Amino acid sequence: MYVVLIVLVGLERVAELVVSLRNASWSFARGGVESGRGHYPFMVVLHTGLLAGCLVEAAHRPFVPALGWSMFVVVLLSQGLRWWCIAVLGHQWNTRVIVVPGLRLVARGPYRWLRHPNYVAVVAEGIALPLVHTAWITAVVFTVLNIPLLAVRIRAEEAALKAALVE
């Protein structure tokens, strides 16, 4: 069943990319400017590695029900938060940093409380998804590599938003 979960998360990532491509076209048609391209390939490799690491490591780990089911709930909640962010940002959401100059900063939904709620979902999922099947090495490696990536990503987003958006 864990393989099914990982495949479903992989398909969810494909759905994100489809939405992202559509939104990128929308943004570029309205003068959108892309920033921070340098970190994007590393992000793709890291997130792909998360899924692969889950499968490889879980093949050698037991399923521990108390841990597995609680982490499964965290995975579901992180997916819910991720898609809430996507829905609230609408055409402005993207896996890349593309900002349309002159648009207002979104301050509704989870953005009422957090500046970058999608990254809360990414961090939670990066820990919880491997731990559904006790793949603790994958959880640690992903988290440790994700920290500097998120630092770079958030700096790129903040700079792009400051330059282009009306608050």
pLDDT mean across residues, the chain: 95
- What is the pLDDT at residue 76? 98
Distance separating alpha carbons of residues 94 and 20, to the nearest angstrom: 5
Give the closest residue to 72 by CA, choosing from 120, 116, 124.
Answer: 124
**What's the structural domain count of the chain?**
1
Q: Dihedral sign, CA of 164, 39, 79, 69? A: negative
- What is the pLDDT at residue 166? 58
Residue type, 160: A
Domain extent for 37: 2-164
Q: Which CATH number belongs to the domain containing residue 56 in this structure?
A: 1.20.120.1630
- What is the pLDDT at residue 165? 63
- What is the pLDDT at residue 164? 76
**Per-residue pLDDT tens digits for 76-115:** 999 999 999 999 999 999 999 999 998 888 999 999 999 9
At 74, is the pLDDT very low, low, confident or very high (cuts 50, 70, 90)? very high
At 27, is the pLDDT very low, low, confident or very high (cuts 50, 70, 90)? very high
Query: Would the pTM of this model clear 0.85, i.e. be above it?
Result: yes
- Specify the residue for token string 């992989």: 10
Distance separating alpha carbons of residues 146 and 133, to the nearest angstrom: 20
Distance separating alpha carbons of residues 98 and 35, to the nearest angstrom: 6
